[in-house]
């Protein structure tokens, strides 16, 4: 079993002004919406509105593209974890209570996704495991995608879609909310070099550091040849 990790969110702990949270967006391909004759979503749309638009896109696109894609891998931070949270679940509950991702609200989320896959409004889980969802979207094979903010640059720099993509808030289920994303440095609890690791973490979380999590490159991650 791998050694446990001690996580240190240096950005949030040392420099609060640098700690930011960007609401998870839903990307849209306006070209495919126009092709299907479907109006663009607005920031006040709901889950039911999204399903209705997905059905309209399915009819208008006639199988040339999927209405929606989202990453359903074990990660889930840019897809189903947000849906669970919007439905009132807590991935990490307070007061040491067990996670509630297997209750009735969670099952409702899973059934919604299964139903959309069954109806052809989304690729199957197997299809989305074989091809990255962002690649399906970037090849104009999907009209909507749940995407993390880290995909903004690849989307904006892709000439196949950058002239006709849009961004809108995720459709609301019971509450408008999402899972926050952050970057952190980690040190193994069983490390033989804790002192050196702490020095590195201390430096990388200081103002003297040439880079911070989420800002440019990290020299600790550069190719050492």
Q: What are 125-175's pLDDT values in tens digits?
A: 889 889 999 999 999 999 999 988 778 889 999 999 999 999 888 999 998
pLDDT exceeds 70 at position 2: no
Q: Compute how many other C-beta atoms are within 10 angstroms of the C-beta atom of residue 105.
A: 17
Give me the CATH code for the 23-167 domain, please. Answer: 3.40.190.10
One-letter-per-residue 3-state SS of 168-216: EECCECCCCCCCCCCCCEEEECCCCCHHHHHHHHHHHCCCCCCCECCEC
Smallest Cα–Cα separation from 31: which of 135, 167, 161?
Answer: 161
pLDDT exceeds 70 at position 224: no
Q: Tell me the domain boundaries of the chain.
A: 23-167, 184-220
- Burial-class residue 65 by CB neighbours within 10 Å (0-12, 13-18, 19+): buried
Cβ 29 vs Cβ 164: under 8 Å? yes
pLDDT exceeds 80 at position 211: no
Supply the pTM of this predicted model.
0.72
Question: Residues 60-116: pLDDT tens digits?
Answer: 999 999 999 998 887 788 888 889 989 988 777 777 777 778 899 999 999 999 999
192 vs 215, higher pLDDT: 192
Average pLDDT value for residue range 41-56: 95
Question: Residues 162-194: pLDDT tens digits?
Answer: 999 998 889 999 988 877 666 667 788 888 999
């Amino acid at each position: 079993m791998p050694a446990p990790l001690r996580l240190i969110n240096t950005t949030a702990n040392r420099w609060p002004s640098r700690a930011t949270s960007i609401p998870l967006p839903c990307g849209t391909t306006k070209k495919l919406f126009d092709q299907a004759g479907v109006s663009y979503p607005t920031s006040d749309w709901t889950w039911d509105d999204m399903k209705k638009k997905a059905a309209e896109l399915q009819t208008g696109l006639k199988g040339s593209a999927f209405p929606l894609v989202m990453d359903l891998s074990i990660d889930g931070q840019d897809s189903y974890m947000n849906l669970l949270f919007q439905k009132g679940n807590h991935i990490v509950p307070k007061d040491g209570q067990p996670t509630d991702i297997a209750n009735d609200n969670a099952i409702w989320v899973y059934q919604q996704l299964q139903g959309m896959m069954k109806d052809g409004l989304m690729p199957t889980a197997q299809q989305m495991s074989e091809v990255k969802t962002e690649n399906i979207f970037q090849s104009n094979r999907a009209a909507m995608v749940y995407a993390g903010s880290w995909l903004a640059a690849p989307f904006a720099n892709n000439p196949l879609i950058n002239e006709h993509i849009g961004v809108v808030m995720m459709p609301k289920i019971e509450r408008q909310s999402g899972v926050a994303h952050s970057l952190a440095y980690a040190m193994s609890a069983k490390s033989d070099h804790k002192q050196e690791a702490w020095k590195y973490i201390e430096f990388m979380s200081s103002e003297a550091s040439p880079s911070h999590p989420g800002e440019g490159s990290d020299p600790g991650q550069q190719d050492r040849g």
